[in-house]
């Protein structure tokens, strides 16, 4: 089950990385990613095994996966923020030009 969730998180991050931020689907993908991360956290919290070494190994592996997901998500967030800032800047310029044109 955990491997399935990890794969779905990976797939969702792939989609986000390859989708323009202005695409409405990006909002849906972010929500989907949040839900998957919550499910993953629940599975990790509930993970049990009689062998402590198995628990240690699995949790260490999942920590590395989590760190990789964090790096990718951070890059996606940074990219989306820069695109949104650029869009705001462009909108301000358009508004300025419209204002100047309206005052002629």
Average pLDDT, the chain: 87
CB 20 within 8 A of CB 26: yes
What percent of the chain has pLDDT above 90?
A: 49
Helix axes 25-46, 2-17, angle to 10 degrees: 160
pLDDT digits (tens, 9 = 90+) for 22-49: 677 888 888 999 999 999 999 999 888 8
pLDDT, residue 78, reads 83
CB 1 within 8 A of CB 22: no
């Amino acid at each position: 089950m955990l491997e399935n969730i990890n794969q779905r998180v990976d797939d969702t991050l792939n989609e986000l990385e390859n989708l323009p931020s202005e695409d409405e689907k990006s909002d849906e993908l972010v929500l989907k990613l949040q839900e998957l991360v919550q499910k993953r956290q629940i599975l990790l919290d509930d993970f049990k095994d009689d062998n402590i070494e198995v628990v240690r190994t699995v949790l260490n592996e999942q920590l590395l996966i989590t760190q990789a997901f964090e790096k990718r998500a951070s890059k996606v967030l940074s990219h989306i923020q820069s695109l949104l800032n650029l869009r705001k800047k462009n909108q301000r310029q358009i508004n300025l030009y419209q204002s100047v044109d309206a005052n002629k």
